[in-house]
Chain A
Amino acid sequence: MPGKLKVKIVAGRHLPVMDRASDLTDAFVEVKFGNTTFKTDVYPKSLNPQWNSEWFKFEVDDEELQDEPLQITVLDHDTYSANDAIGKVYIDIDPLLYSEAATVISGWFPIYDTIHGIRGEINVVVKVDLFNDLNRFRQSSCGVKFFCTTSIPKCYRAVVIHGFVEELVVNEDPEYQWIDRIRTPRASNEARQRLISLMSGELQRKIGLKVLEMRGNAVVGYLQCFDLEGESGLVVRAIGTACTLDKLSNTSAFLPACNSPSKEMKESPLVHAPSHGCRSTHNSPIHTATGSRLTQNFSVSVPTLIYTGMGSGSAGKEGGPFKTLLRQQTQSALEQREFPFFTLTTFPPGFLLHVGGVVSARSVKLLDRIHNPDEPETRDAWWAEIRQEIKSHAKALGCHAVVGYSESTSICEEVCILSASGTAAVLNPRFLQDGTMEGCLEQRIEEASPPGCGFCHIPYDELNMPFPAHLTYCYNCRKQKVPDVLFTTIDLPVEAIVVGKGCLIQARLCRLKKKAQAEANATSISNLLPFMEYEVHTQLMNKLKLRGMNALFGLRIQITVGENMLMGLASATGVYLAALPTPGGIQIAGKTPNDGTYEQHISHMQKKINDTIAKNKELYEINPPELPEEIIGSPIPEPRQRSRLLRSQSESSDEVTELDLSHGKKDAFVLEIDDTDAMEDVHSLLTDVPPPSGFYSCNTEIMPGINNWTPEIQMFTAVRVSRLSNINPTNQTLNKNFNDLCENLLKSLYFKLRSMVPCCLCHVNFTVALPEDELVQIAVTAVAITYDKNQALQANKAPTEKSQQRASTDNEEQLQFPLELSSDPLSSQPFSPAKEALEGASSHTGIPAAQRDRCNSWIELIKLKAQTIRRGSIKTTTSLEKASPLAEGYLRHRSVPSGTNSTVSVVKMTPLSFLPGAKITKYLGIINMFFIRETTSLREEGGVSGFLHAFIAEVFAMVRAHVAALGGNAVVSYIMKQCVFMENPNKNQAQCLINVSGDAVIFVRESELEALPVPAPTAQPAGSAGDVTT
């Protein structure tokens, strides 16, 4: 009996009028948790009742605490008839279950009714007294922290990243139970909301148990989804990355520097225990798929790989032994793991060594009723299969891990497409196993490949490549091989060297499909899938080249199945990576060369394409440094000397000559126009309009090339449903319609946000659904962030000709960007060669004086840091970041409680993991909410648009209220995972389900931090770079 939940109902306000006669309401409240219910007194005749109830106490198991939501129902007392419900509030008390998060939930919550929406507000206080319980057979997992954020949360340090955790639970959907025929829509909606709340609680608890078994204490990149399978049931599934996180507490700031990581690790049993990827047997997802009529298990094997490179490259022996060594080390750590997957998209510096390319797998399944909800074997088996496939794809790429991993489904009637995708990668074993820090450090020095390009170097064996690829020597370090194009699902690593800015690239595709039943349907879908994947990738590749870029980050391919068509939408952020070769242009080749007019047409189009490329290069400021001959001709001294790579001098000179050979070879991408289809495709390439001036867009966390954000942000959700009205639709017309729909939506966003210019739309997330025959629904969630144009210009003026130096400056700048750092950059990369290179370059080599002046402040800062680092011993650099008087001062400052104004406190929301110009000081817990809204008076509520507009606004309001009640002032990593909208205009009805999640946090403006006395510069930690960036 490990917990006591205490609830107090304080007051209500703005209640609706429930008694027409008196224009008033006699309200009382029911508080329910599990099977226990308490009631307040009736507060008669008031729309603003003051209940001021006693503390209602529930004594419950922690298992129950985790699973159950607190249910608060506001009712209107009626003497003669049944009491009328006004609305409900569900409060997830999970954030109160771990010590570091919130301690109390207190505030005004909107009273929500699934039919009427928000009806007034209620003030509630919730507390939990938790008793420690050391029962090792416990079923609860209180204390495991959950984060939606797909990077190591800002005020934590990853001690060990254990790896993949997953779980799913299934149940019957109340909407489809027999009882639904006799109960009211309200009752049915509430049953569903409650069930899903219960299921997510259970799921989170089970995942937590797995994490505890792995000796972790947190789940990062937690993604929970619902599959509304209709008749066959309701599946709630979640994936995440188990980690052992260490709070970067300000209290340890003045401890001797040497105590921190290694000592702690010895003391902590969590870290020292073997971290084999164990899982409890009963939870194991490996089951034999028995009894299910699964047919057509089709999966597409990585067409992406075809595009990770082209042509051929010469074999390089230099990486061989080193790589093998590395692989051995990491494999030992990873091989025991069933699935070496990571849902993270951003990593601690040094974690990601090499990236292979995107791996994805899809499978078409026929849904069947889930007979026994307690044994979700079929669904488990389905996912296990797909994961196996992903794993083998990664292996084929010479990678032992998959990062930026995600899973999704698309369901139409009884057909379901399961998709999984990620990025094959080679990881640094340091974070994956419990080695002593000393060993790791040694290792890291050996490994240190030049920052900013290391992750581009191919992980696979060149002699035995899994696919035809065109390899060249890295344009940055000139030591290792890189592919000519790189696709990934992760965010751009902070250390990556990028030329110019990035941009959102989308591939859009429709394919008609015959209406069919069951297995025939599944077959036709599986037959279409590979063609769709192929085309999506062709489009992506073409559009990438059209923008003069050579890499995609944050790639997300969504294939949606509808009654009579399939839709594919791929979004990614294109960038020009300095390490990869300049992309060749696009050449059009006609099939009938004799026809004069045709020829003319072709050349006209070719010209248009070339113009577009040139324009795009200008727009995105892609002017890669032309490599001066002397650099190529002579040995490059800095990187080799400083990055103590395992290689000899002679080998590297070999490379240089080899490099010369491959340098001039730039393969143009040839598009053959052999029929009208291809012609259409080329046309559609050119229809993408660049965003209006002052706007940039990307679907990653940060916009490559912009690093001077100002604090103004605007998160938004836009939803459009369009009717494809063609009577005889063809693939072409559909494609065009779909393309127009997306482009118009983007255009409309740019127009709406025009007052924020200059700004960037970040984390643009499109979701496509096909709710009915001819309806396409697109939902977009993104955040617009303003930036300082002047500073941006200055940054762009940085010398490009001195590539080496610029690279390091860039690198440094990005490292300086405090919000992108999961932990102190210097502490984890104390011997980053770039810094020393820069220092060396600025002091020894001949940089023109003017230029040196411009860089002076930077150089000084870096020097300063270098000194700071030297002062500390190698082993203790990780704790350096904590020795921050600033942080201490700030702590004192923070102790003043933030204003408790009578007005509603502002809660920021963002899909990003950070807030520009602010520092996240505390994570309060995960927000995971599911709402249903239904109406039977659609016209009266302003039609479908009015209905959905109000509902989305209500969802935002409820999220904000919950965050505010936890004491937070922002939601980061906010995501709208589901928005299912159904309408029946003839009956004047509509229904919508929305599922959102995010992390509630407390942030403090950096300007407030700066107001504190700034300590002596030498003592200043590198991490607090607010003074530098602003």
Chain B
Amino acid sequence: MSSDLDVFVGNTTLIDEEVYRLWLDGHSVAEAVARRLRGGVLEREGTSVAVLQSDTRDHYRTFQMLERLLHAPPRLLQQLLFQIPPERQALLVQRYYAFDEALARELLGKKLSKGTKKELDEVSARTGVGIRSCRRQFDNFKRVFKAVEELRGPLAENIQQLFLLPPALARDYAAIVFSGIWGLWERFWGFLGCPDPPFSSRDYAAIVFFANSRFETGKRRLQFLSFGDFAACAQSMMAHWSQGALAPEAADPDGDLPKSFLQDLKELKVLVSDKDLLDQHKSLVCSALRGKISVYNELEANFKALSRALVNVGGKLTHARDVRDFFVDLVEKVIEPCRSDKWSPGDLRLFLTHYTAAPRNLPGFRHQALWERYMAAISACLLRMYHD
């Protein structure tokens, strides 16, 4: 006697967290049943395998029906089909959009294209994340990116509102989007080829450009950086550099857009191109750090190289091709030299503090505010990235 049809529908939709997890991980019904069996549910509840199968199938069907709504979480709140208590809804969304960091790290620097999706098999094998789960997470990234791509306002808040994610998770997504891991949009592809991108008058263009410029993250020398490192860097860049661009309503309309910010960064070159300024800067920093830092000699020897690297990274940000080298440059020209000279993180912190503060006392340097805003993010990134 086989059951052809077997459904259970509650007025309040039953959500079994364990089964949801199994479904999210991409297990088939049979696999899920096997796993639940291993979990010892039979012994606990004294039931039969048939019951477990029927229960699992019911949940899977529910999740499949819910998935459509999960793609646009605000619809989950408004829909009438499933009556789900708010805290359960939140759980559904959060778990659905949660991602494996290992996977995110793998995908950093790759296009969210069909080609990448086809490579997910390998990614799955490398990371141990199930292939179906990989595809779902990949689609999530793609969906979030697409949804906020053309929106004004702070990225993280937009994502939070559009996908009803908790702030921390929304910030992670924002970081991913921001760090421009994926250039999906053909119409922006053109920018990447342009030496000097034609910024549109629309405010968001700069940030979309920035996002699409795809920081290089896949290079071998960047392998030691985790997804968390990149996310943190992206977050500090957003925090310090983009408040104007990301919240244009809040800013003066003609004011501080990243477009102008990035353009303005070129002005900072004076710090390294003007020999006087460079020397004065060096002496100010060195005098402040003498005796306080264990690697004083190395600092003195390398100051000019370091300063050049730090300033030039910013100067290159307006060029799409160079933007992608942002992290590579930081690692190659700052982190690696310091590491070989055995700077401690404390040394680096102290140096950056004084290095940032010193120009205040430089006569004839007029970009103090810009400089500090720029350095705040750079310092945060460096400190985050300065590990083994």
Bound state CA distance, A751 and B53, in angstroms? 11
Stretch at the interface among A371-379, A399-407, A716-724, A837-845: A716-724
How far is the CB of A116 from the nearest CB of chain B, in Å? 13
* Nearest B-chain residue to A903, judged by Cβ: B77
Q: Contact between A121 and B80 (Cβ–Cβ < 8 Å)?
A: yes
Shortest beta-carbon distance from B355 to chain A in Å: 51
| B252 interface residue (CB < 8 Å to A) | no
* B51 engages A747 (CB within 8 Å): yes
- The answer to whether B8 touches A953 (Cβ under 8 A) is no
Q: Min CB distance, A16 to chain B, in Å? A: 12
Q: In the complex, are the beta carbons of A751 and B47 less than 8 A apart?
A: yes
Contact B1 A949 (CB under 8 A): no
1/0 contact string of A934-956 vs chain B (CB within 8 Å): 00000000101110111011101
Question: Does A957 lie within 8 Å of B80, measured CB to CB?
Answer: yes
- Chain B residue numbers with a CB within 8 Å of A748 are 8, 47, 51, 54-55
B9: A residues at CB distance < 8 A: 716-718, 949, 952-953, 956
Does the CB pair A14–B3 fall under 8 Å? no
CB within 8 Å for A945 and B7 given contacts A752-B55, A961-B80: yes
CB <8 Å contact, A956 and B11 = yes
**Known A-B contacts A714-B12, A747-B51; A722 and B2 likewise in contact (beta carbons under 8 Å):** yes
Interface flags for B43-79 (1: CB within 8 Å of A; 0: not) read 0011110111011011001101100000000010111
Does the CB pair B10–A960 fall under 8 Å? no
Determine whether A295 belongs to the interface, using a CB cutoff of 8 Å to chain B: no
Confirm or deny: B40 has a beta carbon within 8 angstroms of a beta carbon on chain A: no
Contact residues in A for B7 (Cβ distance below 8 Å): 718-720, 945, 948-949, 952
What residues on A are CB-neighbors of B54 within 8 Å? 748
| Residue A64, interface by CB 8 Å | no
Please report the C-alpha to C-alpha distance between residue A950 and residue B80 in the assembled complex, in whole angstroms: 12
Verify A747–B4 contact, CB threshold 8 A: no
Instruction: Please name all residues of chain B whose beta carbon is closer than 8 Å to the beta carbon of A723 when the two chains form the complex.
Output: 1-2, 4
- B83 and A906 contacting across the interface, CB-CB below 8 Å: yes
- Mask, B238-260, CB within 8 Å of A = 1, is 00000000000000000000000
* A942/B64 in contact, CB under 8 A: yes
Secondary structure type dominating chain B contacts: mixed
B23 CB to nearest chain A CB (Å) = 14
Render A721-734 as a binary contact track against B, CB cut-off 8 A, 1 for contact: 11111000000000
B274 within 8 A of partner (CB): no
Nearest chain-B residue to A784 (Cβ)? B10
The complex places the Cα of A692 from the Cα of B14 at a distance, in Å, of: 20
Q: Does A318 contact B (CB under 8 A)?
A: no
B47–A949 touching, CB < 8 Å: no
Q: Taking the complex as formed, is B188 at the interface, i.e. its CB lies under 8 A from any CB of chain A?
A: no
In the complex, which range does the number of interface residues on chain A fall in? 35 or more
| Residues of the A chain whose Cβ atoms lie less than 8 Å from the Cβ of B64 | 942, 946
- Chain B residues positioned under 8 Å from A942 (CB to CB): 61, 64
Which B316-345 residues have a C-beta within 8 angstroms of A?
Answer: none
Q: Could you tell me the distance between the alpha carbons of A158 and B55 in the complex, rounded to whole angstroms? A: 45
Measured CB to CB, the closest approach of chain B to A731, in angstroms, equals 15
Min CB–CB distance B52 → chain A (angstroms): 8
Given A953-B81, A960-B80, do A948 and B11 touch, yes or no (CB 8 Å)?
no
* Residue A981 CB within 8 A of the other chain: yes
Write out the residue numbers on chain A whose beta carbons fall within 8 Å of the beta carbon of B296.
none
A944 touches B8 (CB 8 A): no
Q: Does A741 contact B (CB under 8 A)?
A: yes
Is the CB–CB distance between A946 and B4 below 8 Å? no
Nearest to A718 among chain B residues (CB) is B8
The residue of chain A having its C-beta at the shortest distance from the C-beta of B7 within the complex is A949
Question: Which residues of B have CB within 8 Å of A754?
Answer: 45
Tell me the complex Cα distance, A91–B3, Å: 36
Task: Please give, as numbers and ranges, the residues of chain A lying within 8 Å of B2 by CB-CB distance.
Answer: 722-723, 725
CB distance from B254 to the nearest CB of A (A): 34
Contacts of A110 in B (CB 8 A): 80-81
Neighbouring A residues of B168 by C-beta, 8 Å = none
B119 contacts the other chain (Cβ, under 8 Å)? no
Is there an interface contact between A752 and B1, defined as CB atoms closer than 8 Å?
no
Asked if B6 is at the interface (CB within 8 A of a chain A CB), the reply is yes
B78-A720 in contact (CB<8A): no
User: B80 touching A118 by the CB < 8 A rule?
Assistant: yes
Given A747-B48, A909-B11, A957-B81, A720 and B5 contact (CB-CB distance below 8 Å): yes
Contact A721 B4 (CB under 8 A): yes
Instruction: Say yes or no: A716-B8 contact (C-beta < 8 A), given A748-B54, A751-B45, A752-B55.
Output: yes
Does A744 reach chain B (CB closer than 8 Å)?
Answer: yes
Residues of B within 8 A of A907 (CB): 83
Of A108, A724, A752, A944, the residue contacting B5 (CB under 8 A) is A944
Whether A945 contacts B5 by the Cβ 8 Å rule is yes
User: CA–CA, A118 to B6, complex, Å?
Assistant: 22
* A contact residues around B48 at 8 Å (CB): 744, 747
Which of A118, A719, A741, A747 has a CB less than 8 Å from the CB of B81?
Answer: A118
Complex: how many Å from CA A740 to CA B2?
11
Name the residue on B nearest A904 (C-beta). B80
In the docked arrangement, what's the CA distance between A722 and B2, Å? 5
Residues 348-366 of B, flagged 1 when their CB comes within 8 A of A and 0 if not, give 0000000000000000000
Cα A484 to Cα B77 in complex, Å, equals 56
CB proximity of B12 to chain A, nearest CB, Å? 6
B80 touches A948 (CB 8 A): no
| Chain A, range 673-730, C-beta contacts under 8 Å to B | 692, 714-725
Q: A121-B80, A748-B51 are in contact. Are A721 and B5 (CB under 8 A)?
A: yes
Bound Cα distance A715, B10 (Å): 6
Q: Is the CB of A950 within 8 A of B5?
A: no
Question: Is the CB of B190 closer than 8 A to any CB of chain A?
Answer: no
Q: Which residues of the other chain, B, contact A744 by a CB distance below 8 angstroms?
A: 48, 50-51
A532 CB, min distance to chain B CBs, angstroms: 21
Within the complex, the shortest CB–CB distance from B253 to chain A, in Å, comes to: 30
Given A692-B45, A744-B51; A722-B78 close (CB under 8 Å): no
The reply to whether B57 and A904 contact each other, CB–CB distance below 8 Å, is no
Chain B hits for A906, CB < 8 A: 83, 85
- Determine the chain B residues whose CB is within 8 A of the CB of A740 once the complex forms: 1
Report yes or no: A720 in contact with B47, Cβ–Cβ below 8 A.
no
- Whether the Cβ atoms of A722 and B1 lie closer than 8 Å is yes
> For chain A residues 737-760, which have a beta carbon within 8 Å of chain B?
737, 740-741, 744, 747-752, 754
Distance to closest chain A CB from B163 (angstroms): 16
Give Cα distance in the complex from A752 to B57, angstroms. 12
Tell me if A725 and B1 are in contact (CB < 8 A). yes
Question: How close is B368's CB to chain A, nearest CB, in angstroms?
Answer: 47
Q: How far, in Å, is A728 (CB) from chain B's closest CB?
A: 15
| CB <8 Å contact, B5 and A716 | no
B83: chain A residues at CB < 8 Å are 904, 906-907, 956-957, 960
Check B65 against A950 for contact (C-beta < 8 Å): yes
Q: B57's contact among A725, A945, A957, by CB below 8 Å, is which?
A: A945
Task: Say yes or no for A391: interface residue by CB 8 A criterion.
Answer: no
Cross-chain contact A752 with B8 (CB below 8 angstroms): yes
Asked if B86 is at the interface of the complex by the 8 Å CB criterion, the answer is yes
- Measured between alpha carbons, how far is A530 from B78 in the docked complex, in Å? 54
Return chain B residues, CB-CB under 8 Å to A741: 1
**Closest chain B CB from A694 CB (angstroms):** 10
B residues 109-136 near A (Cβ < 8 Å) are: none
Measured between alpha carbons, how far is A740 from B154 in the docked complex, in Å?
A: 59
How close is B112's CB to chain A, nearest CB, in angstroms?
A: 21
Closest to B4 in A: A721
Tell yes or no: A206 within 8 A of B by CB: no
Q: What residues make up the interface of B, taking CB atoms closer than 8 Å to A?
A: 1-14, 45-48, 50-52, 54-55, 57-58, 61-62, 64-65, 75, 77-83, 85-86
Q: A14-B78, A949-B61, A957-B81 are in contact. List 20 more A-B contacts (CB 8 A).
A: A14-B75, A692-B47, A714-B10, A714-B11, A715-B10, A715-B11, A716-B10, A720-B5, A720-B7, A722-B4, A723-B1, A744-B51, A752-B55, A752-B58, A903-B86, A907-B83, A949-B9, A952-B7, A953-B13, A957-B82
List 15 A-B pairs, Cβ < 8 Å: A692-B47, A721-B6, A741-B1, A744-B51, A747-B48, A748-B8, A750-B47, A904-B77, A904-B79, A946-B61, A948-B5, A953-B13, A956-B11, A957-B81, A960-B83
